[in-house]
Structure 1
Amino acid sequence: MANAKEIRPAFQAYNCFARVLLDLEANAKNSSLFARGCAQIFENHDFDDWAYPYIQVFEPNLFREVAYLNDRDVDRAERFEDTLTPAGRRLRELIAYPAELSDVWLSNTIGALISVAHFTTANELMIHLKARSLTGQGQFERAWLAFLITNRCNQGADAQVAFDEMRGAAETGNVPTGRVLDLCTQGVVWHLKSEQINEAQFRWCLTTGARLSKQLEHRAPETIASWYRGLAMLPAARNDPKRTRAYMAKAEYNAHAAIRADDNRGLSALNQLKTFHESSIKEFIYVDPDYRRALKSAQELVALDPYWPLSLAEKGEVHERFGEHEAAAECFERAAALGPPYVGLHLRKAATSRLRIGDRDRALQHANTLGSIAPDSETLGEIEKVLRMHDAELRN
């Protein structure tokens, strides 16, 4: 393997994802929906209102990834100490004196930190929020933040406790209906994914969610779209393609309705359509295998969010699943070239796809690129293992 120092990483380290995680800033053009959405929400959200909105919530290791790739000190970057952007400076000022923030402002500040995966600082501020006496929606939102933190930081070890507190607050009648439906969606999703939510609460989510979704029909399309996309996981788990498609069709309808009803929340509404395409890809790969429909969903996803590495990686997954390894390699390579998140994963997948078509040189190139940025990476070891296996097969 070539000397790591001789290899220049062929990707954008300070891409739109890194820019928003490190500096809470996004370009108006050439940025993903996630990056633009995070920056826009922080700029426009009224911190006197509960429920900080999210585009997507990532694990803390992805923040550490972008800090490392951009030579930022992780501890200083966590608190935005080196940022020069107005948004970054504003958030730095908010986290400096948490005791002086009102309950709702403190909650929103923690929400903003979670939105860009700054979980260490979010946890520090949660100590202050947990010490306060909150009721109604304040209690609900505090438990919501606790749920997100435990879900992303310690595999949901305390998810049930946070969920129970949210349900208790919701049953007081002092939490907006849309937020309760959000809770039901999370309960369904995380019960089916990892059983973080127990069976009894899962059943409550199904019953309550069905009732609330009817109440909110035609009034909150984004919330309804999320509900049906989550609900589709149930028949998908039972290998029921007909019912899965029925729920997914309702998710798509409401995603488009949210876009039509856009009241300056365009990126959030577009994100509902994006996540619909992502879920559709999984549907047509695993539940109702159909190459043509899976590829169509992937193409629509890339067209909607072309600067998001995961869009290209999703398309690569379709090609890989249906045996088109060269096309898969090209997608994973383009995803890696766009930069974080998951640069290492995309390089590994590109290398593996290259080996499957006998292109050892390109596979080695990807291994060298990975070695230049993470010489001790487990992913690098996986690539080297595959390379050795490939060489052994050729000798035999």
Structure 2
Amino acid sequence: MPSSAWEGTFLMTAYQSVEFNRNAFHTTLLGLEYTESGKQPADIFSRSCVESFQDSDWTRFGYRFTQVFEDAVLQETAVLEGVPCDDLARLRHRPTQAMRRLGDAVDNRTDLSFVERLNLASALTSVTRLDLADTVLNEATQLARSNRERFEAAWLAFILANRREGGASSAAAFATMRDAIGSGDVPTGRALDACTQAVVWYLKRKDVTEDDFTWSVKVGNALAGRAEMHDASTVSAWYRGLAMLPAARGMPDKTRSYMESAWAAAEKSVKRSPQAYELNLIKTYYESSLKEHTYVTKDFDAAVAAGQALIDLDPAWSISYGELAEVHLRFGHLRQAAELYDRAVASGPPYVGHHLLQAATCWEKADTPQAALTRYEHLAALVPKNAEVLTRGLDCARRLSHPSLGAFTRALERLDGVRTTP
């Protein structure tokens, strides 16, 4: 995922004049619908996202989403489509029947019950309308009366806080969930979901308190045994999250033990219901395994095997190529990494800008300046006021005595003039 401010800037302006792969992810984020073409199925995220919206019973808790993206991904979608981002974010742009249905629900949300409003906020979250989801959720939270209702509202507030505000209000949301769990009114699987989130986000960036983290490990382990017979998907997520603890401590055997438990639970879930949501458990297992072998066991062959399994399972997902590229980059295989980042770009959204930048950087480091220059020229056309892109492009052009040397030089001079103007 993008890791710097200027990569985020790229996502806001990328591909304005360039052909791109209008893949299922793009059309799903745009309109909650997609059309499969050729023999390759749509990516698992898009399939699950659309299935959840089509099949969910909005009068019951439990709206399913597999992954929540940050606002920059919606900005990328808007630019690629040539639509003002605010029109997407506020749901003024409704190009499909599904999006019109979602928009009508937003327009008439005062007629909805608490649980229906919560499901509406969840559906908005699934397609990265995060500000609008937060608005709907805040209104719904005022209607919460039972411990279960307060838990579900706090659960979604926790998810949104991760993506919108760097987790600033995550601790408060988790405290509400913990109180509700203590009442005994929250189902085992949902309580385990909350414990998983606490463990993951404490280990990532300490979004919850140490006391809540310790409590979640203890309670989550107890709940996992009770949930195993009925909530295999929840159990799989729990063990993937728990594996982060020994991984952070450099304990490969314990990490693998938890990962094997995650795999077993994922397989059980897929056997019961081989739908996209359940397949995503296998996908996330491979994603976690790739990181396990890259950073914990440092086993290159095992990491590559996990990455290839990820691509084989979900070949339309651009991020998978980027993650396998990261493995090669970590182990010093620059050319292979560059080629995989190029494949990620060719696969389309999400993160086209990030993948293009990484491809350019890897080609440059692999001492292939012409390939790097081509990509920097592309980036420079898209983000003409980005000094780092221009400087990198200038360096490549200078090495090659390429005609673009003058263009990069003038672009930097103009940028310096703007920056030094009183």
Offset at residue 347 of structure 1 (A): 0.7
Offset at residue 87 of structure 1 (A): 1.0
What corresponds to 1:310 in structure 2? Answer: 319
What corresponds to 1:329 in structure 2? Answer: 338
The C-alpha deviation readout for 1:203-239, integer Å capped at 9, x for no partner, is 1101110100011123221111100000000000000
Contact 1:79 1:95 in 2 (8 A): no
Contact 2:48 2:277 in 1 (8 A): yes
What corresponds to 1:75 in structure 2? Answer: 86
1:187 is aligned, of 178, 195, 198, to 198
1:20 aligns with 2:31: no
1:373 is aligned, of 358, 382, 385, to 382
Contact 1:10 1:369 in 2 (8 A): no
1:95 aligns with 2:106: yes
Q: Return 65-74 or 131-140, whichever deviates more.
A: 131-140
Contact 1:232 1:248 in 2 (8 A): yes
Cα 1:362–1:393, aligned 2, differ >3 Å: closer, same or farther? closer
Query: Partner of 2:59: helix, strand, or coil?
Result: coil
**Counterpart Cα distance in 1 of 2:97 and 2:109:** 19
2:150 is aligned, of 139, 144, 164, to 139
The C-alpha deviation readout for 1:354-396, integer Å capped at 9, x for no partner, is 112222121121122223334345xxx444444455678899x
The C-alpha deviation readout for 1:291-323, integer Å capped at 9, x for no partner, is 110110000000011111101111111111122
**Letter of the 1:19 counterpart:** T
- How much identity, in percent, do the aligned residues show? 37
**Counterpart Cα distance in 1 of 2:177 and 2:122:** 16
Q: Return 60-69 or 285-294, whichever deviates more.
A: 60-69
What corresponds to 2:404 in structure 1? Answer: none
Q: How does 1:270-349 map to 2 (within 5 A)?
A: 270-349=279-358
**Counterpart Cα distance in 2 of 1:129 and 1:180:** 21
**Counterpart Cα distance in 2 of 1:394 and 1:94:** 57
Cα 1:30–1:374, aligned 2, differ >3 Å: closer, same or farther? farther
Contact 1:11 1:337 in 2 (8 A): yes
2:131 is aligned, of 120, 124, 127, to 120
Contact 1:277 1:301 in 2 (8 A): yes
What corresponds to 2:212 in structure 1? Answer: 201
**Letter of the 1:269 counterpart:** E
Q: Return 71-80 or 217-226, whichever deviates more.
A: 71-80
Cα 1:136–1:312, aligned 2, differ >3 Å: closer, same or farther? same
Offset at residue 290 of structure 1 (A): 0.8
Cα 1:313–1:390, aligned 2, differ >3 Å: closer, same or farther? same
Ranges in structure 2 where 5+ consecutive residues have no aligned partner: 1-12, 402-422
1:256 aligns with 2:267: yes
Query: Partner of 1:197: helix, strand, or coil?
Result: coil
Contact 1:24 1:85 in 2 (8 A): yes
Offset at residue 191 of structure 1 (A): 0.5
Q: Return 139-148 or 72-81, whichever deviates more.
A: 72-81
**Letter of the 2:241 counterpart:** G
TM-score (norm 1): 0.92
1:178 aligns with 2:186: no
Contact 1:38 1:55 in 2 (8 A): yes
Contact 1:226 1:272 in 2 (8 A): yes
**Counterpart Cα distance in 2 of 1:7 and 1:317:** 27
The C-alpha deviation readout for 1:182-204, integer Å capped at 9, x for no partner, is 00000000000000111100011
Contact 1:229 1:279 in 2 (8 A): yes
What corresponds to 1:59 in structure 2? Answer: 70
**Counterpart Cα distance in 2 of 1:254 and 1:340:** 30
What corresponds to 1:104 in structure 2? Answer: 115
Contact 1:11 1:339 in 2 (8 A): yes
Cα 1:25–1:376, aligned 2, differ >3 Å: closer, same or farther? farther
**Letter of the 1:218 counterpart:** M
What corresponds to 2:367 in structure 1? Answer: 358
Contact 1:284 1:290 in 2 (8 A): yes
Contact 1:143 1:165 in 2 (8 A): yes
**Counterpart Cα distance in 2 of 1:384 and 1:92:** 41
**Letter of the 2:364 counterpart:** L
Contact 1:103 1:129 in 2 (8 A): yes
**Letter of the 2:126 counterpart:** S
**Counterpart Cα distance in 1 of 2:254 and 2:248:** 11
**Letter of the 1:23 counterpart:** G
Cα 1:388–1:287, aligned 2, differ >3 Å: closer, same or farther? farther
Cα 1:394–1:84, aligned 2, differ >3 Å: closer, same or farther? closer
Ranges in structure 1 where 5+ consecutive residues have no aligned partner: none
**Counterpart Cα distance in 2 of 1:103 and 1:128:** 9
Contact 1:69 1:373 in 2 (8 A): no
TM-score (norm 2): 0.87
**Letter of the 1:111 counterpart:** S
Contact 1:146 1:162 in 2 (8 A): yes
**Letter of the 1:325 counterpart:** L
Cα 1:8–1:365, aligned 2, differ >3 Å: closer, same or farther? farther
